[in-house]
A and B are shown apart, each in its own frame.
Chain A
């Protein structure tokens, strides 16, 4: 599936390195920069 500018961002929940699950919707009301990294140990 391809997303487009103007669409709602699909919600999801994933485990995080801070030992807790994180959902996109936890941050509703904030601007979010969602970054996909191909792999750890690559530049951020």
Chain B
């Protein structure tokens, strides 16, 4: 299958090396999230504060860097490989037949989604929260781009918003709306998406 597996645990490197050796060698990187402890697990929302370790979790990320599948398992249960393979087939049906992967494009270009409803936002901004509620109430499919963590996203917003990091900012199939105005968003969706 045309996919790169990356393992992350809060163990330190010597421990991971010993573990890999005990398994007869592992050919994908096992990464150590040991210090600062659990930083990456935290970033992905799977750190367990009390235990100081992480959930057993799987994220499938597509070629453009979008999360396509999240599975957080019971700590004692092993993730099901078949499920992950099925997700990969769905995310990229051709990959099952073809390898290697095409060369990556310019990261800035390929990491920002376009088409449909895209909301550039932060986790905390009040306008973003209102927009999420509105999208959900109106059953609008949309993609969130968190400008705090997505490379190039804040710069893109600044270009649209006269140099400010205004959130939310929307890219509705090419119509750019800076700030949350429910009427304008609704109008743009009517014109661009539901036409």
**Chain A residues proximal to chain B, CB less than 8 Å:** 1-12, 14-18, 22, 24-25, 27-44
Contacts and interface: CB of A to CB of B under 8 A. Distances in A.
B6 A33 contact: yes
Contacts of B167: none
Q: Which of B7, B64, B111 has the most CB of A within 10 A?
A: B7
Given A5-B70, A37-B7, A30 B101 contact: yes
Contact of B9 (A18, A25, A33, A40): A40
Interface string B124-153: 000000000000000000111110011101
Given A31-B92, A44-B23, A36 B46 contact: yes
A27 B3 CA distance: 9
A1 to B, nearest CB: 5
A30 B95 CA distance: 9
A28 B164 CA distance: 28
A32 B105 contact: no
Given A3-B44, A3-B59, A6-B67, 19 more contacts: A2-B45, A7-B145, A7-B146, A8-B149, A9-B59, A17-B19, A28-B111, A30-B3, A31-B2, A32-B60, A33-B59, A33-B88, A34-B58, A36-B9, A36-B58, A37-B7, A38-B53, A38-B75, A39-B11
B5 A33 contact: yes
B91 A31 contact: yes
A8 B67 contact: yes
29 contacts: A2-B45, A6-B144, A7-B66, A8-B65, A8-B153, A9-B65, A12-B39, A12-B40, A14-B40, A22-B6, A27-B6, A28-B104, A29-B63, A30-B2, A31-B63, A31-B92, A32-B5, A33-B6, A33-B60, A35-B8, A35-B59, A36-B41, A36-B46, A37-B56, A38-B53, A38-B54, A40-B19, A41-B22, A44-B7
B79 interface: yes
